[in-house]
Amino acid sequence: MEDRIIKTEYSEVMQKSYIDYAMSVIIARALPDIRDGLKPVQRRTLYDMYELGIRADRPYRKSARIVGDTMGKYHPHGDSSIYDALVVMAQDFKKGLPLIDGHGNFGSIEGDGAAAMRYTEARLQKITEEAFLSDLDKDVVDFMPNFDETEKEPVVLPVMIPNFLINGSEGIAVGMATSAPPHNLSEVIDAMKAYMRDESITTRGLMKYIKGPDFPTGGIVINESELQEIYETGVGKIKLRGKAEIEKGKNGHVNLVISEIPYTMIGANIAKFLQDVANLSETKKTQDIVDISNQSSKEGIRIVIELKKDTDVENFKNLLYKKTRLEDTFGVNMLAVYNGRPETMGLRQILQANVDFAYEVTRRKYTTLLQREQERREIQEGLIRACNVIDLVIEILRGSKDRAMAKACLVEGKTDGIKFRSKESKIMAQMLLFTEKQANAILEMRLYKLIGLELDALVKEHDETIANIYRYEDILERKESMAQVIMSELDGYKKAYGRPRRTTLTDAEEAVFEEKKPEEMDVVFMMDRFGYAKTVDVSVYERNKEAADAENKYIFTCKNMGKVCLFTDTGTLHTIKVMDLPYGKFRDKGIPIDNVSNYDSAKENVIFVASQADLNLYRLLFVTSHGMIKVVSGGEFDVSKRMVAATKLNEDDTLLKVAVLTEQRNVILHSKAGYFLRFPIEEIPEMKKTAVGVRGMKLADTEVLEDVYFSQNAVESSIIYNEKTIELNKIKLGSRGSRGTKIRT
Residues annotated as catalytic (active site), given as ranges: 119
Residue 121: strand, helix, or coil: strand
Q: Answer yes or no: are the C-beta atoms of 221 and 227 closer than 8 Å.
A: yes
Which DSSP string corresponds to 324-351?
Answer: STTEEEEEEE-EEEETTEEEE--HHHHH
Contacts 24+ apart (CB under 8 A), 487-491: 487/193, 487/196, 489/160, 490/160, 490/161, 490/189, 490/192, 490/193, 491/189
Say how far apart CA 556 and CA 732 lie, in whole Å.
Answer: 34
Query: Is the CB of residue 237 less than 8 Å from the CB of residue 332?
Result: yes
- Say whether 151 sits in a helix, a strand or coil: coil
Is the distance from CB of 109 to CB of 296 less than 8 angstroms? yes
User: Packing angle between helix 40-52 and helix 79-90, nearest 10 degrees?
Assistant: 80
C-alpha distances (whole Å) from 598 to each of 118, 280, 507, 574 are 49, 21, 42, 7
Handedness of CA 387, 388, 390, 393 (dihedral sign): negative
* Closest C-alpha to 229, from 209, 204, 211: 204
Closest Cα to residue 203, out of 353, 358, 350? 350
Local structure of 393: helix, strand or coil = helix
CA–CA dist 677, 708 (Å, integer): 10
Closest by CA position to 501, among listed 219, 301, 231, 235: 219
d(CA 613, CA 638): 8
Using CA atoms of 395, 401, 407, 409 in order, give the dihedral in degrees to the nearest 10.
Answer: -60
By CB atoms closer than 10 A (0-12, 13-18, 19+), residue 58 is exposed
Report the Cα 667 to chain-centroid distance in Å. Answer: 63
Contact 194, 106 (CB under 8 A): no
For residues 435 and 444, the answer to whether their CB atoms sit within 8 Å is no
Q: Is 652 left (phi over 0), alpha (psi -120 to 50) or beta?
A: left
